[in-house]
Amino acid sequence: MADFSLNDDQLQIQKWVHDFAENVIRPAGHEWDEREEFPYPIVQQAAEIGLYGWEFLMNTFSDPTGLTLPVCIEELFWGDAGIGMAIMGSALAAAGISGNGTPEQVMEWVPQCYGDAKDIKLGAFCVSEPDAGSDVSSLRTRAVYDEANDEWVLNGTKAWITNGGIADVHVVVAAVDPELKGRGQASFIVPPGTKGLSQGQKYLKHGIKASHTAEVVLDDVRIPGSCLLGGKEKLDAKLARARERGSSGEKQPAMATFEATRPSVGAQALGIARAAYEYALEYAKERKAFGKPIIQHQAIAFKLANMATEIDASRLLIWRAAWLARNGGFKNGEGSMSKYKASEVAVRVTEDAIQILGGYGYTREYPVERWHRDAKIHTIFEGTSEIQQLVIARAISGMRIE
Ligand SMILES: Cc1cc2nc3c(=O)[nH]c(=O)nc-3n(C[C@H](O)[C@H](O)[C@H](O)COP(=O)(O)OP(=O)(O)OC[C@H]3O[C@@H](n4cnc5c(N)ncnc54)[C@H](O)[C@@H]3O)c2cc1C
């Protein structure tokens, strides 16, 4: 049975992350948004206190209630989403390794996605391609096995990759047998400094500008056989089953990773929404129009009431999904519900916050316009809102819906 009261450890860690978000991240948000560069000094500071690091991530992954991670992420993104994403970006690579790798591979590669406080490293999870975003079964990046040298050779182009090209460890999902679509794919580690991997264009974005997003070009990238996550024997068995039945019934490696991380992405959106709501609430108590604080005009008060309600509803869905992910798994698309709801709420709440701040809200002197831009990505990456609706519709109906 789920119990959503946070224990003492969780309350302590929540306060610890909140303090860092309030004192370090929030004051730096505007500057790094304007610079549109990866905020190395801030990530470095996060590493120094142990907030950016594989031990922190593994501790939150091992929490049996599942709540510690979304609680921490909400606080981080409450501080600033671009910087929050810079701190959390490597976690997607770590999740890709943990979800598909052997215990030995997890121990070898996850720490290399983070480095240490003296020398921070980054990880990137490379799935999307110019012609395959939502439709991950159509990946064109190929992985071919060179048996004589026990090496895999990767070729292709990945698009919109967080930390792409600047990461030390790239986790790449590629087609081994394209005819099997998603069932013929596998995940690979491209170790630091591997020849043939390069950064393509860096994208200039609408929001989360402090997070680095770029193309990753793979040109005859040769990696040792041991870099196939899960190992060759497991892959061969999976491919054989898929060829026999047309479908192995196993999840695509990318989808399995994204499913597990959905409550976390919802928590990112929730942090932004809460920041905007709190800011708008305080502003509405101070700002006067027609002789009284604007919160005493019902139109504004009701907007704030709706914002508070929707934020709480999002948090409950996120915490339920995070709890289920550790306690029995999703049954009716609960992970997708949480990401879908929280990201749509974040877009609406941040827009309402701009409305409440009026002209000031539309200027870059106030943070709410940035939060609105930052919120929007959450309805797009790690499965668009439409794809979340598809997952939920399939789960509740048990039917094929295209
Ligand atoms: C800032 C940023 C960071 C990112 N980071 C990463 C990363 O680290 N790693 C990574 O692999 N990818 C990353 N992505 C890529 C992201 O996951 C994709 O952009 C996303 O999955 C959508 O794919 P797409 O852009 O190709 O859109 P498309 O799939 O072309 O979709 C376009 C529109 O069609 C709709 N649509 C598509 N199929 C259906 C359907 N069956 N039913 C209904 N509607 C449908 C979509 O919902 C959307 O509205 C990132 C993207 C951005 C912008």
For residue range 340-355, what is the model confidence (pLDDT) as tens digits?
999 999 999 999 999 9
Average pLDDT over residues 140-162: 98
User: Residue 365: pLDDT above 70?
Assistant: yes
User: Is the Cβ atom of 227 under 6 angstroms away from ligand 1?
Assistant: no
| Cβ partners under 8 Å of residue 244, min gap 6 | none
| 39 and 109 belong to one structural domain | yes
What burial class does residue 402 get, using C-beta atoms within 10 Å of its C-beta: 0-12 exposed, 13-18 middle, 19+ buried? exposed
Residue type, 245: R
Residue-wise pLDDT for 242-299, tens only, equals: 998 765 455 666 666 667 789 999 999 999 999 999 999 999 999 999 999 999 999 9
Query: Is the beta carbon of 258 within 6 A of some atom in ligand 1?
Result: no
Structurally, how many domains does the chain consist of? 3
In total, the chain counts a number of residues equal to: 402
Q: Is the distance from the beta carbon of residue 160 to the nearest atom of ligand 1 less than 6 Å?
A: yes
Backbone φ, ψ for residue 3 (5° rounding): -130, 115
Closest CA to 388 of 207, 251, 273, 255: 255
**Cβ of 125 below 6 Å from ligand 1:** yes
Residue 205 has pLDDT above 60, yes or no: yes
Please give the pLDDT value at position 261.
Answer: 86
Looking at the fold, whether 116 and 130 belong to one and the same domain comes out as: no
Determine the Cα–Cα distance for residues 337 and 321; give it in Å rounded to an integer.
Answer: 8
Q: Same domain for 85 and 182?
A: no
| Arithmetic mean of pLDDT, 7-22 | 97
Average pLDDT (115-119) is 95
The encoded tokens of residue 206 equal: 């609408």
CATH number for 16: 1.10.540.10
Same domain, 215 and 285: no
- Please tell me whether residues 372 and 267 are part of one structural domain: yes
Q: Which of 160, 340, 343 to mutate to test the pocket of ligand 1 (most atoms within 8 A of CB)?
A: 160
Of 55, 250, 382, 402, the active-site residue reads: 382
pLDDT tens string 33-67? 999 999 999 999 999 999 999 999 989 988 999 99
Q: What is the pLDDT of residues 87-114, one digit of tens each?
A: 999 999 999 999 999 999 999 999 999 9
Q: In this structure, is residue 366 part of a structural domain? A: yes
113 and 135 belong to one structural domain: no
- pTM of the predicted structure, to 2 decimals: 0.96
Residue 233 near residue 77 (C-beta atoms within 8 A): no
Question: Is residue 3, in this structure, part of any structural domain at all?
Answer: no
Instruction: Please indicate whether residue 286 is annotated as part of the active site.
Output: no
What average pLDDT does the segment 367-388 reach?
97
Distance CA 402, CA 390 (A): 7
Domain hosting 138: range is 123-245
Distance (Å, rounded) from C-alpha 19 to C-alpha 75? 9
* Residue 396: pLDDT over 90: yes
DSSP state of 221: E
Whether residue 1 lies inside any domain: the answer is no
